[in-house]
Amino acid sequence: MRLSVAIAAVCTGLLLAAVTLAGGPVYGVQSCTKPRVRPTEIVFQCGDAGAFMEHIRWRRWGGSIAVGSGDYSEKTCVPTCATGPLRSHHATVWLGSIGRCSGHGAKRFYRRAKVSGVQHGFGVQCPIS
């Protein structure tokens, strides 16, 4: 009886380790192009850097949701996006929707983002090749 319990415990441990290794790390996207674990800067609108977060410190990372805080900035586009000032505030960022990104093999990425004080979320976050 003890042997079967010991074997079951070892098998369970090996199975959990295999599942963890198969998952691997979860990445965010640093500055639009670089896969990074715990990126310190995320640009949400890569076309014109119209919305970004920097100096991010992560409280949670690797699970289904990542949570961090830092300085969020966005273009006001008043009078135009090219000449208008930035509006900034300290904010919390939540990343979720883990998935794969084309061209990055088996790497898993947080693909959606929400920032406190911003009414809309940000869509798929994949590195630009």
Question: How confident is the model at residue 80, as a pLDDT?
Answer: 86
Beta strand 108-115 with 26-30 is parallel
- Which pLDDT score is estimated for 6? 45
Contact between 109 and 29 under an 8 Å Cβ cutoff? The reply is yes
Q: For position 37, what pLDDT does the model report?
A: 97
Q: So what's the pLDDT on residue 7? A: 55
pLDDT above 80 for 103 = yes
Does residue 11 have a pLDDT over 60? no
Is 97 a residue whose pLDDT tops 50?
A: yes
Per-residue tokens: 95: 């990343």
Q: Is pLDDT above 70 for 18?
A: no
